[in-house]
Amino acid sequence: MKKILVTGATGLVGKYLKEIMPDANYVSSKDYNLLIQNDVKKMFKELKPEIVIHLAARVGGVHHNIIEPVKYFEENIIMNTFMINESFNNNVNKFLGLLSSCIYPDNIDIYPIKENYLFNGAPHSDLFSYSYSKRCMAIQIDAYRKKYKSNFSYLIPCNLYGEFDKFDEIQGHFVGALINKILIAKKNGEKSIQLFGDGAPLRQFMHAKDLAFVIKEVINKDIKENFNVGNNENFSILKIAKLALSVCDAETLEIEFDKNKPNGQMRKDIDLSLMKSLLPDFKPTLLKDGLKEVYKKLEKK
């Protein structure tokens, strides 16, 4: 069996991937600092991977992106550059990187968004630094493919959620922060929860365990294409919040929106035609089922 290296071992996707690909080498910042080139070189020398799945990234919610744009740009640029370059230098057979649907243009006329629309305009201003750092990884991967015929590729997933998320209002993703708000409100006997914006933006949310499954399929089947990964469900933030209240047995809580806070991108649903052609038997988890699963696991903690 080929030696597989997975970065971002303690992250949302990494933990799910470890459950279904237990024989890979999983590393986190406690093992190697991917922002230091010598550490990256040391990692490749010691682990000698033949396949690299690069999940590590500086990630967080809209608000944290706004207040820390330098970190989101520089840290992702640095670690991605080192990881791809060292993968090539060490003759890695396959490299798979993870992008995000927020890298797509903010102002676009055709939805859902296809993979070839990636550079048809600027990403949303609230996630500008993070989005461009991920676009740069796409450019770097494609450059290696073009120049050296390398088996390097990337996936572009929609928004993710899962039990291993950061359940924090500032640094966490929307669904994780939402469920955490509901848990706290129920515990404290509060009458409402407050969310950013006005509830109008549309979002696709995918359970992170589903993305882990897709990653495993890409590796096992040696799929070479770059493609979107997601769930067909495209709901408003308001609808998602109501759905979460329902599955969390908290329908008596009112939803208040702080319109002084940013909405983020109003719409960014991605086209899944290529994914379905490559993985015709893949069936993503329905949002209501995934929310219920995450809530029940968190409630027990």
Q: Which long-range contacts (CB under 8 A, 24 or more apart) does 217-220 make?
A: 217/279, 217/282, 218/96, 218/153, 218/155, 219/4, 219/21, 219/51, 219/53, 219/94, 219/96
- Rounded CA-CA distance 229/43 in Å is 29
Active site residue 117: no
CB 274 within 8 A of CB 229: no
SS3 category, 97: strand
Phi, psi angle pair for 149, to nearest 5°: 60, 35
CB 65 within 8 A of CB 262: no
Residues 6+ apart with CB under 8 A from 221: none
Q: Which of 16, 26, 72, 130 is catalytic?
A: 130
- Rounded CA-CA distance 138/117 in Å is 13
Structure letter (DSSP) for residue 270: B
- Rounded CA-CA distance 175/205 in Å is 8
Phi, psi angle pair for 240, to nearest 5°: -65, -40
What are the angstrom distances between the C-alpha of 61 and each of 191, 196, 227, 254, 262?
25, 11, 23, 23, 11
**Angle subtended at Cα 213 by Cα 218 and Cα 79, rounded to the nearest 5 degrees:** 65
Task: State the catalytic residues.
Answer: 130
